[in-house]
């Protein structure tokens, strides 16, 4: 069965520290991969996406993610976290059109001073 | 429009009443998706439209839930005889192609009392 796993429910980092949020998936073929961010009381905003080509993708707000086929992972990274990055982060996986994206349960990021 | 518009933004209803939630997607986006987000949970897929047809309605939790889309544009999600467990944020998204990702609306927060 197709699935998306975000192993960390909550993560706390200090402002200025680096960040890595994990995402693992189980899909039959190379999927389309996405990271979304949801700030409190807001809708979901697309941070970045991968569907082919260079496995390291750059997104908005200084985020990047790397697709690793051998590990079935698509981890999100940021070199230096800002207090405004505190939010819920969702990894999403999809296949060809015809099926909706499958979302992970999310990782809540807390940024401390 | 410039973004995905959902109405109402908040809805409080009594148990047993019917409710209608509306989604107005981005103009030209042929695909439309409904998800549900309960407190502390990820996004639960409900139904997907391509044009006016629904190739995948597998996520609708019961026959109390239905949805339609007209003119390849506006969609309405209807919940009949609402129950307390229906309380959640209902999110609508639209897209042109799966690999481009989705644009989400701000959601409708439904509270059943």
Dihedral-angle region of residue A82 (phi above 0 means left; psi in -120 to 50 means alpha; beta otherwise)? beta
Picking from A101, A102, A105, the nearest residue to B102 by CB comes out as: A101
Tell me what the mean pLDDT of segment A51-71 comes to: 93
Predicted confidence (pLDDT) per residue in B41-74, tens digit: 789 999 999 999 988 888 999 999 999 999 989 9
Predicted confidence at residue B1, as pLDDT, reads 55
Predicted confidence at residue A64, as pLDDT, reads 98
| CA-based nearest distance B32→chain A, Å | 9
Could you tell me which residues of chain B have a Cβ less than 8 Å from any Cβ in chain A? 4, 31, 33, 35, 41-43, 45, 48, 50, 55-56, 59, 91, 93, 97-107
Whether the pLDDT of residue A1 is over 70: the answer is no
DSSP string covering B27-77: TT--EEEEEEE-TT--EEEEEEEETTEEEE-TT--STTEEEEE-TTS-EEE
Tell me what the mean pLDDT of segment A74-97 comes to: 93
| CA-based nearest distance A3→chain B, Å | 13
Predicted confidence at residue A98, as pLDDT, reads 67
Predicted confidence (pLDDT) per residue in A9-21, tens digit: 999 999 999 999 9
Predicted confidence at residue A16, as pLDDT, reads 97
Higher pLDDT, A46 or B98: A46
Whether the pLDDT of residue B35 is over 60: the answer is yes
Q: How far is CA A62 from each of CA A19, A47, A48, rounded to the nearest angstrom?
A: 11, 9, 10
> What's the token pair of residue A72?
């079935």
Q: Identify whether the C-beta of residue A66 lies closer than 8 Å to the C-beta of residue A83.
A: no
Q: Identify whether the C-beta of residue B61 lies closer than 8 Å to the C-beta of residue B38.
A: no
Interchain CB contacts (distance < 8 Å): A and B: 58
């Amino acid at each position: 069965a197709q699935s998306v796993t975000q192993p960390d429910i909550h993560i706390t980092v200090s402002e200025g520290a680096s960040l890595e949020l994990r995402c693992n998936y189980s899909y039959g073929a190379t999927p389309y991969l996405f990271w979304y961010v949801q700030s409190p009381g807001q809708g979901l905003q697309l941070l970045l996406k991968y569907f082919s080509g260079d496995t390291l993708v750059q997104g908005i707000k200084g985020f990047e993610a790397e697709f690793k086929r051998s590990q079935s992972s698509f981890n999100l990274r940021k070199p230096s976290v800002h207090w405004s990055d505190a939010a819920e982060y969702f990894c999403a996986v999809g296949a060809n059109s015809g099926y909706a994206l499958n979302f992970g349960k999310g990782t809540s990021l807390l940024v401390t001073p | 429009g410039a973004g995905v518009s959902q109405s109402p933004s908040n809805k409080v209803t009594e148990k047993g009443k019917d409710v209608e939630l509306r989604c107005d997607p981005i103009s030209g986006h042929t695909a439309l998706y409904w998800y549900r987000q309960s407190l502390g949970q990820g996004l639960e897929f409900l139904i997907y439209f391509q044009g006016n047809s629904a190739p995948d309605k597998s996520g609708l939790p019961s026959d109390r839930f239905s949805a339609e889309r007209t003119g390849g544009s506006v969609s309405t999600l209807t919940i009949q005889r609402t129950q307390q467990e229906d309380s959640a944020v209902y999110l609508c998204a639209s897209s042109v192609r799966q690999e481009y990702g989705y644009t989400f609306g701000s959601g409708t927060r439904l509270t059943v009392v």
